[in-house]
Structure 1
Amino acid sequence: MSTQTVLDPRVVACIAERGFDEFSEVQQRAIPKVLAREHLLLIAPTGTGKTESAMIPVFNQMLSAGAGGGKGFTTLYITPLRSLNRDILRRMEWWCSRLGFTVGVRHGDTTQSERRKQTLSPPDLLVTTPETLQAIYMGRRLREHLKQIRFVILDEIHDLAGTKRGAQMSIALERLVPYAGEFQRIGLSATVGNPEEVARFMTGRRPYTIVEVPVTKHLAITVELTGEKFEDQVKLIRKHIKEGPPTLIFVNTRATAESLGMNLLKDGGIDVHHGSLSRDVRIEAEERFKNGEIRALICTSSMELGIDIGHVDHVIQFGSPREVSRLVQRVGRAGHQIGKISRGTIIASGFDDLAESLVITRRALAGQVEEVVPTYQAGDAIANQIAAMAVEYGEISTDDITSILSGSSISLDAESIVPAIISQLAEHYILRRDGTRVITTGRARKYLSNNLSMIPDERKFPIYDMVSRRTVGSLDESFVVTYLHTGAVFIARGHLWRVLEMEEGKITVEPAKSAEGELPSWEGEQIPVPFAVAREVGALRRTRQFTDYTSDQVVTRYAEAYLVAVENNRGIIPTDEIITLEQIPEGVVINLCAGHQTNEAFGRVISILISARWGTTVGIELDAYRILLRLPREVVAGDVLEIIHGLDPEHLRAILEVALKRTSLFKWKLVQIAKKFGAIDADADYERLSMHRLGELLSMPAIQAETYRELFSRYMDVTHATEIVNGIKEGSITMVLGLPSMIGASGIFSHRDQIPPPTADQAVIATIKHRLAKQEVILVCMNCRKWKVRTIVDRVSDHPVCGHCNARLIAALKPYEEEQYSIANKKTKNTQEKEIERRLIKNANIVLSSGKKAVLVLAAKGVGPDTASRILATWTDGDSLYREILKAERNFIRTHRFWQS
């Protein structure tokens, strides 16, 4: 360990006590660079000692500089997650206790007493989050402690770089320079496709060094094929767990994690870990795995970052990971010992899943990881930081603002954008201008308190199950605005649901028996499949060189047989060079291998042009390999083909810009960004803003420009959609009209990541039976008009009788209908009141004829005497009767808002 010869003896003693027999490759290469005070981006797999690679030399320099004694923060350690803060704090406490340093953690959950303590006596090493760094600048005494900072470590920097959180943090680091002078920047990252760009994101215009230890040379990944039935998939995972070593099972959605957990937890030795679970439950699962109490942990992206869970020997990826970087990060968690191989297995089902998994595996082993693109010129993040500087200094010159922003690589052209953004902020009274000076206002501090984070605040929409009459979960606002509509099918809590109504901030649903016949509008919390991956899947369909991707003969035989079966059924194989259009009863399927975001842009343009020409609404649903356009019957595949041929590649963005203004997605995103600019209050509801107020927001150039920038960078890939249209124009991509095929249908009938519960129909019927049995009803006598009793359906006799006159002319009312009985008994009645009496008598005659069965039907939501008569006229009993009731309730929910009052 030659590096130790230049380290302080106290650090060397800690290394020995820690039990380091030898430094890992990453430590051998990184420690000298940090000791040389170089700005360093360190790229290496999780678990290879990245944290110690940074902190051992930092501790060494802190000792040399005589740090300590409560003079201020010497080192900031910034992580994107509070859970990582907890883990890093535990590890740093060990080192600091031996080296004589103090360490603290500060984030949103830090107690007031601990905050006061840090203000009075700052720790030498502060572990924190990007958002808490923003809060430190706002504290008059606290920000004085920033003057001692010499080192900033940015952990999991790849997770921040491509986001607005990262843009905000990049500028925040430049704001630190006037306090501390130039400090050393050390970024710790997973494998990325563009290390130089990520390094520039961290350092701005400063020189940097990159140390990269590729994970790909230590990867061993196989793809296994299983049946499309969930039971087959569970069986294969169970086999791996039973026969294998400590294993992480990564899934793509929380719902899949829950469904797998439900099937595997009964075996014992398994737990579940995802972001919807409480912090205590997640910590318990981490500790149980680390201590060897369980042999497998089912997890989502919550476990991708470097949380310490001990030794992992094997990673299972359930279904395609969708991205190369995701697969590398996940499999890279296995086998972290010097010279050890990280072993991973993808369990794929179905042709799309298999082909995608093979392509992503090849790209991972070849080191072809996706690029992380920093959020350049994010207007709202820059506005947020200009307002923060005004609050921090009270007043500041525009030259100083521009100078600070120019140090960050995020602000590519600060001089040109700063004046416009300052004008926007002044318009909203966040600050005021006095010549070349920018001065804070009373509103600015409140604005910053509500906007410390660039993560948008999202409402939660409750999911209300019309069958059980209870709330079964909630959905994020982004999901509701972007993907949901009446009739859409989605998954929550491991079950499929169909949307019946979206009103008053509530999503009313019914259980969907299966995904058959439905194109899911959203595939869970999925990462979109990138353009490059989808194009290579198309190329693999064309070349059929499956043996170049795997030696597993079961896999190759299946893939080849699938494509032959498509052709034998007169289907045409869509590839990277062929786009097929298939006419189906619902509309037209465009088979295009271009990834989610490109298909989103391409499909929206086509739908806009169809709507304009035929004056009709076009439904659009898509995945990475196909676009379904739900069309009226007069619009056929030939018409769609003609429209695509007529596209001008240069007009795509302009078409989208005009059309997007009319969408809920644009309105929602516009309001989100306006909040970050301070144009509207943080708690404003986008659904309730007047058209006039929205028009005002649209007239603000900086807000509108940022809305489009985010939509076209996050949701739609206009660049690659233009590339596809150019390919069609130039003839390198052919469009063909084809018959409905297995490939096109697999999008319509696909349910990747959607796991319907077994015997869903029986579960629904059992629920509605239980609910109606306990439903409260009011029985009233329409003969003597003097008897009324409140009870539940379960307690009603087979043939109800009046307790006063023994007559059987008994009406069954819902609790909210009780007042109608009083109205019916009035001596003089108007026309409307006579109609109420007529309905109650009809109600009573139905109960007279059908007894308790009629009471049961009348207790259902939205079922009155007329509907009850129709249901009872079907002469159904048992489960069939409950299906008729459910059908009536569903129809009421769908149509009641259109009724005349």
Structure 2
Amino acid sequence: MSKGYIIASENIYDLAESVVIAKRTCSSNQHRGIERIKIRKNPLDVLAHQIAGLVLEYGEISIDEIIDTLSKAYCFRELEAQQVERVVEFLRDIGVISVAENQGRKILRKGRRTRRYYYSVTMIVDTKNYEVVDVMSNRIIGELDERFVAKEISPGVAIVLGGSIWRILEIEGEKIYAEPVESIEGSIPKWIGQQIPVDRRIAREVCSLFKLIAMSGKDSSKVISTYPMDQGSFERLSSLVNNHISRGYPLPGERLILIEGWREPGLSIAVIHTCLGSRGNETLGLYISSFTGPLISYRATPYALILASTRSLSLRDLERLLSSWESEDEVISRVINAARSSGAYKWYVVAAAKKMGLMDKDVSFDEAMKYVKYLEGTVVNEEAIGDMVHEELDIDSLLEMLRGIKSGDIRIATLDLTEPTPLGEEIYRGVSGFERVRSQSIPTDLAAELVRRRLEEKEAQLVCIMCGYSENRRVKDLPESLSCPSCGSVFLGVNKYGYEGARDLVRRIAKDPRVLKDPRALSDDEKKVVDLLRRSADLVATYGKKAVLVMMGRGIGPETARDILSSSISDTDMYLKILEKEKTYISTKKYWD
């Protein structure tokens, strides 16, 4: 018989989860299930593809025949005519099929795109990766996949990457610019993308395992005989669980929801301990956010929901949200509407548009997002929310919990604390990724040195505005004082944006200066180049190599460079000012570029 070992982290939720899954995997009874297999009902993207395939196969086919054929498949067993008609209308509008009337029946025939649609559209969406760039050193610090970027990333968001915290400045093309930060106030850093969800049954058994450990005291025999763990694992779990209980805190479980809250620097934290699993707590997070909006951010884990806000969090208000709901339809509506406002939903809309042939599979997410607003009310929109609910949410588990609270079968305990409970600490510091984060405190002299090295590696094109002489040199190879090797002038302009005709333009003006006085002699672009070269040449004449180096910064032109050079009290100060201007440029570029 094969033998295997599971190496878990010290976080007790990771450890207990591993133990429960191992036990269920090895079990021969009915409780061995690890996750429920849910087959999605009536996926519209698959329906569209199947309709195109049937039209290709039979040449023409009626809607009744489509329903009769497809309803034999399990996922389409409850297929309704209205759904088919909506998808047929969509396929007709994009040229995949044509529709004719015959004795009151709609007959579907091939369209101009039928064959290409059927053989090119796939149910698997290609995704690309974004490089994350440290704005300070221009070093690539990692990659994020498109799905995670769509769901989690926007300017100002904090993420954990490479074991450090980074604040996102801007997304530009396929690059994401970020700056290192020592700590985050006002948000919970995001550190993971798509993971295999933990089923509610696993989460509930983890909570039950904690209760079993609490009842066992120091006697490990019953626990170890039931669950495949060693003595060291038991002691780790037992130590923390009993520490939690010894302080007078209740253990959360199937019949008890524990809501605890405390303050971090600049941040109010609340943890709602439930045993709803990954999807259930994500659904709970959307339900609560439907009341609070963007004032409160949340992170769902299989065992709890973490809430964070720069404002004070009322635990009583959270308790009321869970106990004072009006109807199940209202709960579902709130969850769906909140889901539509999420970054994840945008990803699903784009994915559905690609899977249904409305967008080319190679279209970038940024480009696709320009058209998302036009898809409201379409079958693409309906498919997106259906796919998201199936993949990410567990509305049934949330409703079951809310019913239990209202009936009194499930009670809620609240703890207003100065520091988290032992279990709360494990959730917040462990599952949220804080225990995996190292300090990002970077000394100012090191930050300045990184900026200097980056800028000195850049290549600058210098153009003498007196004679037109031009050369390309790396900044670090330039002497401190600069002059033209051809005519000796100190007025060397920096062709920062790489205008190809800069040298010829200057030579043309040098031969006939009257060109500058003729408003029709130069194009608008040429006038801008001349102005840039003149202003940058004035700086080079005054500051030499430093002027060139400063203008190598992102978004730093002659005027900004002059401000930096004239106000800097030291080289370190100068490099730090460059960095701040670069960050401002990256963050605001999209508004004025």
Matches within 5 A, 1:122-141: none
Instruction: State the partner residue of 2:588.
Output: 895
What is the total number of aligned residue pairs between the two structures? 545
- Tell me how far apart the structure 1 counterparts of residues 584 and 62 of structure 2 sit (CA, whole Å): 63
1:530 aligns with 2:199: yes
Choose from 408, 412, 416 the match for 1:734: 412
**Counterpart residue type for residue 535 of structure 1:** R
Matches within 5 A, 1:243-282: none
Q: TM-score, normalised by structure 1?
A: 0.52
Choose from 389, 394, 417 the match for 1:712: 389
Quick one: structure 1 residues 844 and 675, their matched pair in 2 at CA, closer, same or farther if it must change by over 3 Å? closer
What secondary structure sits across from 2:460 in the alignment?
strand
1:455 aligns with 2:121: no
Instruction: State the partner residue of 1:589.
Output: 270
**Counterpart residue type for residue 391 of structure 1:** L
**Counterpart residue type for residue 124 of structure 2:** I
Quick one: structure 1 residues 434 and 566, their matched pair in 2 at CA, closer, same or farther if it must change by over 3 Å? same
What secondary structure sits across from 2:206 in the alignment?
helix
The answer (yes or no) to whether the contact 2:137–2:450 under 8 Å persists in 1 is yes
- Tell me how far apart the structure 2 counterparts of residues 788 and 554 of structure 1 sit (CA, whole Å): 71
Quick one: structure 1 residues 893 and 578, their matched pair in 2 at CA, closer, same or farther if it must change by over 3 Å? same
The answer (yes or no) to whether the contact 2:188–2:308 under 8 Å persists in 1 is no
What secondary structure sits across from 1:603 in the alignment?
helix
Q: How big is the shift at 1:444?
A: 0.9
1:773 aligns with 2:453: no
**Counterpart residue type for residue 457 of structure 2:** K
1:348 aligns with 2:27: no
Matches within 5 A, 1:448-597: 448-451=118-121, 453-467=122-136, 469=138, 475-490=144-159, 498-503=167-172, 505-510=173-178, 512=180, 519-545=188-214, 547=220, 548=223, 549=227, 552-563=230-241, 574-576=252-254, 577-584=256-263, 585-593=266-274, 594-597=276-279
Choose from 530, 539, 553 the match for 1:860: 553
**Counterpart residue type for residue 480 of structure 1:** V
Quick one: structure 1 residues 447 and 550, their matched pair in 2 at CA, closer, same or farther if it must change by over 3 Å? closer
Q: How big is the shift at 1:448?
A: 0.6
Q: How big is the shift at 1:566?
A: 5.5
**Counterpart residue type for residue 775 of structure 1:** K
What secondary structure sits across from 1:621 in the alignment?
strand
Instruction: State the partner residue of 1:14.
Output: none
Q: How big is the shift at 1:561?
A: 3.1
Q: How big is the shift at 1:398?
A: 4.2
- Tell me how far apart the structure 1 counterparts of residues 390 and 310 of structure 2 sit (CA, whole Å): 32
- Tell me how far apart the structure 2 counterparts of residues 535 and 765 of structure 1 sit (CA, whole Å): 51
**Counterpart residue type for residue 445 of structure 1:** R
**Counterpart residue type for residue 539 of structure 1:** S
**Counterpart residue type for residue 438 of structure 1:** L
Choose from 425, 429, 435 the match for 2:91: 425
- Tell me how far apart the structure 1 counterparts of residues 537 and 360 of structure 2 sit (CA, whole Å): 54
Quick one: structure 1 residues 510 and 494, their matched pair in 2 at CA, closer, same or farther if it must change by over 3 Å? same
Quick one: structure 1 residues 606 and 399, their matched pair in 2 at CA, closer, same or farther if it must change by over 3 Å? closer
Choose from 333, 342, 345 the match for 1:666: 345
Instruction: State the partner residue of 1:403.
Output: 68
What secondary structure sits across from 1:647 in the alignment?
coil
The answer (yes or no) to whether the contact 1:500–1:509 under 8 Å persists in 2 is yes
Quick one: structure 1 residues 561 and 757, their matched pair in 2 at CA, closer, same or farther if it must change by over 3 Å? closer
- Tell me how far apart the structure 2 counterparts of residues 765 and 564 of structure 1 sit (CA, whole Å): 49
**Stretches of structure 2 lacking an aligned partner (at least 5 in a row):** 520-526
Choose from 46, 49, 56 the match for 1:391: 56
Instruction: State the partner residue of 1:847.
Output: 543
The answer (yes or no) to whether the contact 1:482–1:664 under 8 Å persists in 2 is yes
Q: TM-score, normalised by structure 2?
A: 0.75
Q: How big is the shift at 1:501?
A: 0.8
The answer (yes or no) to whether the contact 2:281–2:301 under 8 Å persists in 1 is yes
Instruction: State the partner residue of 2:402.
Output: 725
The answer (yes or no) to whether the contact 1:645–1:728 under 8 Å persists in 2 is yes
The answer (yes or no) to whether the contact 1:581–1:591 under 8 Å persists in 2 is yes
1:441 aligns with 2:108: no
The answer (yes or no) to whether the contact 1:601–1:717 under 8 Å persists in 2 is yes
Q: How big is the shift at 1:597?
A: 1.5
The answer (yes or no) to whether the contact 1:499–1:507 under 8 Å persists in 2 is no
**Counterpart residue type for residue 865 of structure 1:** A
Quick one: structure 1 residues 535 and 892, their matched pair in 2 at CA, closer, same or farther if it must change by over 3 Å? farther
**Counterpart residue type for residue 147 of structure 2:** S
**Counterpart residue type for residue 239 of structure 2:** A
Quick one: structure 1 residues 668 and 748, their matched pair in 2 at CA, closer, same or farther if it must change by over 3 Å? same
Quick one: structure 1 residues 689 and 345, their matched pair in 2 at CA, closer, same or farther if it must change by over 3 Å? closer
Matches within 5 A, 1:184-195: none
- Tell me how far apart the structure 2 counterparts of residues 845 and 747 of structure 1 sit (CA, whole Å): 60
- Tell me how far apart the structure 2 counterparts of residues 754 and 400 of structure 1 sit (CA, whole Å): 58
Choose from 852, 871, 876 the match for 2:572: 876
Quick one: structure 1 residues 785 and 573, their matched pair in 2 at CA, closer, same or farther if it must change by over 3 Å? farther
- Tell me how far apart the structure 2 counterparts of residues 601 and 665 of structure 1 sit (CA, whole Å): 13
Q: Which has the higher contact order (CA 8 A, sep 6+)?
A: 2
Q: How big is the shift at 1:428?
A: 3.8
What secondary structure sits across from 1:599 in the alignment?
helix
Quick one: structure 1 residues 873 and 589, their matched pair in 2 at CA, closer, same or farther if it must change by over 3 Å? farther
Quick one: structure 1 residues 430 and 358, their matched pair in 2 at CA, closer, same or farther if it must change by over 3 Å? same
**Counterpart residue type for residue 345 of structure 2:** F
Q: Deviations for 1:538-583, whole angstroms, at most 9, x for unmatched residues? A: 3344453473146633323333333455578897765542322424
**Counterpart residue type for residue 620 of structure 1:** Y
Instruction: State the partner residue of 1:369.
Output: 34
What secondary structure sits across from 1:771 in the alignment?
helix
**Counterpart residue type for residue 736 of structure 1:** T
- Tell me how far apart the structure 1 counterparts of residues 336 and 237 of structure 2 sit (CA, whole Å): 40
**Counterpart residue type for residue 362 of structure 1:** K
Instruction: State the partner residue of 1:791.
Output: 473
The answer (yes or no) to whether the contact 2:550–2:561 under 8 Å persists in 1 is no
Instruction: Indicate the larger mover: 590-599 or 424-433.
Output: 424-433
Identity %: 24
**Stretches of structure 1 lacking an aligned partner (at least 5 in a row):** 1-339
**Counterpart residue type for residue 794 of structure 1:** K
What secondary structure sits across from 1:342 in the alignment?
coil
Q: CA RMSD for the aligned pairs?
A: 4.6
Q: How big is the shift at 1:654?
A: 0.6
Q: Deviations for 1:697-718, whole angstroms, at most 9, x for unmatched residues? A: 4333x44443332121111111
Instruction: Indicate the larger mover: 756-765 or 593-602.
Output: 756-765
**Counterpart residue type for residue 402 of structure 2:** V
- Tell me how far apart the structure 2 counterparts of residues 620 and 659 of structure 1 sit (CA, whole Å): 13
**Counterpart residue type for residue 404 of structure 2:** G
The answer (yes or no) to whether the contact 2:298–2:307 under 8 Å persists in 1 is yes
- Tell me how far apart the structure 1 counterparts of residues 425 and 535 of structure 2 sit (CA, whole Å): 49
The answer (yes or no) to whether the contact 1:499–1:509 under 8 Å persists in 2 is yes
**Counterpart residue type for residue 578 of structure 1:** I
The answer (yes or no) to whether the contact 1:811–1:847 under 8 Å persists in 2 is no
Instruction: State the partner residue of 2:523.
Output: none
Q: How big is the shift at 1:867?
A: 5.8
Matches within 5 A, 1:693-708: 697-700=375-378, 702-708=379-385
The answer (yes or no) to whether the contact 1:595–1:625 under 8 Å persists in 2 is yes
- Tell me how far apart the structure 1 counterparts of residues 238 and 468 of structure 2 sit (CA, whole Å): 78
- Tell me how far apart the structure 1 counterparts of residues 326 and 150 of structure 2 sit (CA, whole Å): 29
Q: How big is the shift at 1:527?
A: 0.9
Instruction: State the partner residue of 1:602.
Output: 284
